[in-house]
Amino acid sequence: MKPSRLLLAALALAAPACESSKPSSKPAPETSAASPKEAPAADGAKPAAGAKPAAGAAPAAVQVDASFAGMWDLPIKTLDGKPTTLGAFKGKAVLVVNVASQCGLTPQYTQLEALQKQYADKGFTVVGFPCNQFGGQEPGSAEEIAEFCSTQYGVTFPMMEKIEVNGAGRHPVYQALTPIADASGHTGDIRWNFEKFLISADGTKVTRFSPKTKPDDPTVIAALEAALPK
């Protein structure tokens, strides 16, 4: 028996719907599980995967040997030209920072000053070392730097004279500090403005932080509190 015209018409209408329900023979576009590559840090430092401690956990401090003790007596000058040494702060936890007035990281002054106010009475101080080696971002005179820090950020922590932290003219204080590794294993040259070295109050341990690690980062706070006088 030949199929009726109505039946043939119904089959013709159903055919496209059946075809569309078949699985496609074309493979689905691949979706990469990998995250986009991280852009290089402005300071040239390579981020180390998994190197950053959990929030609120201090990175391991580096135990320094007896030769490091000589750093406290190295001659330096304050920003207004008076001779001194880091020994003036011995017995405190000291955060040594190379600073600049025209850097994208300059707003870290706000957080550094906040640390100074919060922890100074507990035996802590920031010590700033202006440096013009990174993009020429600290070109001013001592007077100009002092005025900028005071008027723009209300800085009260000690500021030293402008120095070099890398190269043949590296200041002896930084000759003592730069061999110390940070949590990613970086040693040697300072990478950019606002690299940080936290020296424990007993002078036996140093914790290094990259320029982009903000002073109020939980890892810095944890290390600071561990470094205070006992």
Q: Which amino acid is at 32?
A: S
Q: Which of 18, 103, 131, 149 is catalytic?
A: 103
Has 103 been annotated as catalytic?
yes
Sequence-distant (≥ 6) Cβ neighbours of residue 41 within 8 angstroms: 47, 210, 212
Are 43 and 192 in contact by the 8 Å Cβ rule? The answer is: yes
Per-residue pLDDT of the chain (230 residues; tens, 9 = 90+): 444 454 444 444 444 333 333 333 333 333 333 333 333 333 333 334 445 556 578 899 999 999 999 999 999 999 999 999 999 999 999 999 999 999 999 999 999 999 999 999 999 999 999 999 999 999 999 999 999 999 999 999 999 999 999 999 999 999 999 999 999 999 999 999 999 999 999 999 999 999 999 999 999 999 999 999 99
User: 82-105 burial, b for 16+ CB within 10 Å, e for fewer?
Assistant: eeeebeebeebbbbbbbbbbebeb
Q: How far is CA 24 from CA 12, 21, 27, 32, 194, in A?
A: 21, 9, 8, 21, 57
Name residue 78's amino acid: T
Structural Rg of the chain based on CA atoms: 29
List all residues 6 or more positions away from 82 whose beta carbon is below 8 Å from its beta carbon.
none
Q: Which domains does the chain carry?
A: 62-227 (3.40.30.10)
pTM of the model: 0.77
What is the Cβ-side half-sphere exposure of residue 143, based on CA atoms within 13 angstroms? 0
